[in-house]
C-alpha cells in the first residue's frame, strides 16, 4: 500500500471511529457528533483533492447535517420499524443524517411504487 493509500485508510478509520462513538439516543435517532463528522469529511476531501481548508465547506456540512436530522426527527414517529432498521445503521452505512434521510426518502418512494 502506498503512503497516500495508507493515509487515506487511516483517515477513513478515524472518521468511522469518531462518528460511530455516537450512539446516545435522542428521539430514537442515534446522535452523531456532526462537528467531528464534518471536520473528518473536510480533512479527507482536502487530502484527496489537495485543496486548502475552507471554513465555508465545514459550515455548509454542519447546516446540511442539522437540516437532515431535523427532517428525520419530524418523520420518525410515522416511519415504519422496517424503514428505520434498513436506513439507520451507523455500523453499516456512513454515520450521516444526510445519508439516513436520503435512504428513508428512497424507501418511501419504493413503498409507494409497490402499492401501485
What tens digit of pLDDT does each residue of 94-115 get? 789 999 999 999 999 999 999 9
Q: What is the 3-state secondary structure (H, E, C) of 1-67?
A: CCHHHHHHHHHHHHHHHHHCCCCCEECCEECCCHHHHHHHHHHHHHHHHCCCCCHHHHHHHHHHHHH
**Confidence category of residue 57, pLDDT binned at 50, 70, 90:** confident
Domain range for 55 is 3-115
CA dihedral sign of residues 111, 25, 22, 71? positive
The total of structural domains in the chain comes to: 1
Amino acid at each position: 500500500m502506498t503512503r497516500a493509500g495508507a493515509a487515506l485508510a487511516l483517515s477513513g478509520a478515524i472518521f468511522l471511529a469518531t462518528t460511530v462513538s455516537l450512539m446516545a439516543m435522542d428521539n430514537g435517532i442515534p446522535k452523531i457528533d456532526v462537528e467531528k463528522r464534518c471536520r473528518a469529511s473536510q480533512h479527507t476531501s482536502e487530502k484527496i483533492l489537495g485543496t486548502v481548508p475552507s471554513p465555508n465547506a465545514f459550515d455548509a456540512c454542519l447546516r446540511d447535517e442539522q437540516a437532515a436530522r431535523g427532517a428525520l426527527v419530524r418523520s420518525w414517529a410515522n416511519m415504519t420499524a422496517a424503514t428505520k432498521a434498513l436506513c439507520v445503521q451507523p455500523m453499516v452505512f456512513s454515520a450521516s443524517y444526510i445519508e439516513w434521510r436520503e435512504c428513508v426518502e428512497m424507501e418511501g418512494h419504493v413503498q409507494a411504487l409497490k402499492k401501485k
